[in-house]
Structure 1
Amino acid sequence: MNMRSIGLIGGLSWESTALYYQTINREVGRRLGGLRSASITIHSLDFEPISALQKAGDWAAMAGLMGRAGRRLAEGGAQCVLIGSNTMHRVADAVQAEAGIPLLHIADALAAAILATPVRTVGLLGTRMTMELPFYVEHLARHGIRCITPDEAQREAIHRIIFGELFLGQVRPASRERLAAIVDSLVQRGAQGMVLGCTELPMIVRPEDSPVPLFDTTRLHALAAVDFSLQDMAHAVPAQA
């Protein structure tokens, strides 16, 4: 059996899209050996107008834009669709409906990884929308996972680092220290694990920056895509956490 084709809505930002592409292809090569790489189509969007829609809170326009991207991936032969962003899963249902192929939800991949451990209460780091709008926290709650979010000043700092630095490919030591301090404060409030709930955060937050387990949503989502792609190939080696 051939591998199934993965469709990725990227550019949200392209920095994390590159992480997805690298992780997926390296994992396919690891599991299949030789010179194997993924069957993957990327529809990379221009993030500037999407950022403007986010600031305006125009989720209907974003749903339409993202849905059309999902449909084009399906028309191009993709057999599943991934949204390469935690925040844009706010419109996941619209993308699923428009694409008409399975949507692999980033929070489902995250929940599966958390539930494989004793952790049930996590700190959530992400964009302001991911931390403040209910869609993400409620999705995890349906899996029995409780989220602790940073306070207002901390949320503002994280959002600024993501949009003002990481989206531009900048990783600053002072920002890493600020994020590590926020992680520590969430642990003091009862977090047993820490969710990197923005696909750019793995660029700056490392395992050694957290006293509790980190859950890297970018990697977990990418591995879920590989699982889907290779599930009919019995000779593929198992996944690794």
Structure 2
Amino acid sequence: MKTIGVLGGMSAESTAVYYRELNRLVRERLGGLHSAELLIRSVDFAPIAELQAKDDWDATGALLAEAATRLEGGGAEVIVLATNTMHLNADAICDAIGVPFLHIGDATAAALKARGVRRPLLLATRFTMEKDFYKDRLRAAGLDPLIPSDADRERLQAIIYDELCQGMVKPTSQAEGMLMVERGRAAGADGVIFGCTEVGLLLSPGDIDVPVVDTSIVHCEAAVEFALG
């Protein structure tokens, strides 16, 4: 089994999901008392969020590249970044390390195509919904992602940063999220991407009548497949 390096903390809430899911998947594959070989580098999210707000992605890239090299130095044989938004810095991370980096967008695209989805609704931070780094990755795989209206994007950003990243899940926000899904369906979406690793804390795939890809789950599945393959 290869050692998986998890670069997390953005937020700590979703990084906890990675720890749980990676161990669950290894146990399901190998049985008994087996668990994942993991290294976790969990950064302080507050300074990174401040840099995000300033649109200073060079600075965030330098911070994450340094954190990834520490994971590699500690023995990680493959690295996953436990956040969708910060994949904007994927190139900076890859340039800094010599071990494989598993891109969450690739795992997401593969899962969508396997479910027969072509026009997924992307629910994520404003950065992920509005910048091209993520949508272009999906388009390169033959997908045509949709994003919510500006008002919904603004509200979802607030829900993610002011509530979910701080461990709060409010029923009123869950209801708002479901309305966003309904509006996306009306606009032609044939699937939904939980494109922020916290969105899976807000919404349940079982409540949505089209295929849903929870990016944190499929990312963990890809990591375990690599580690055990």
Q: TM-score range by the shorter chain?
A: over 0.9
TM-score relative to the length of structure 1: 0.94
Question: Where in structure 2 are the equivalents of 1:169-180 lying within 5 Å?
Answer: 169-180=167-178
Q: Which residue of 2 aligns with 1:148?
A: 146
Paired position in structure 2 for 1:34: 32
Secondary structure of the residue aligned to 2:145 is: strand
SS at match of 2:223: helix
Q: What is aligned with 2:22? A: 24
C-alpha distance after superposition, 1:139-169 (max 9, x if no partner): 1000001111001100001000000100011
| Other structure's SS at 1:148 match | coil
Contact 1:107 1:140 in 2 (8 A): yes
Q: CA deviation at 1:209?
A: 3.1
Number of equivalences: 229
TM-score, length-scaled by structure 2: 0.99
1:132 & 1:122 partners in 2: Cα distance? Answer: 15
1:53 to 35, 51, 57: 51
Alignment partner of 1:185 out of 177, 183, 193: 183
Question: Is 2:16 the counterpart of 1:9?
Answer: no
The question of 1:219 aligning with 2:212 is answered no
Cα distance between partner residues in 2 of 1:117 and 1:202 = 18
Q: 1:92 aligns with which of 90, 115, 126?
A: 90
Q: Detail structure 1 runs of 4+ shifted over 2 Å in the superposition.
A: none
Shift of 1:207: 1.7
Give me the whole-angstrom Cα distance separating, in 2, the residues matched to 1:44 and 1:114. 28
CA–CA separation in structure 2 for the residues paired with 1:97 and 1:74: 13
Check whether the contact 2:115–2:211 (CA below 8 A) recurs between aligned residues: no
| Counterpart pick for 1:122 among 120, 123, 144 | 120
Q: CA deviation at 1:208?
A: 3.3
Structure 2 counterpart of 1:15, which letter? E
Comparing 114-123 and 169-178, the one that deviates more: 114-123
Percent identity at matched positions? 45
Q: Give the alignment's Cα RMSD to 1 decimal.
A: 0.7
Shift of 1:55: 0.2
Contact 1:73 1:99 in 2 (8 A): no
Match of 2:42 in 1: 44
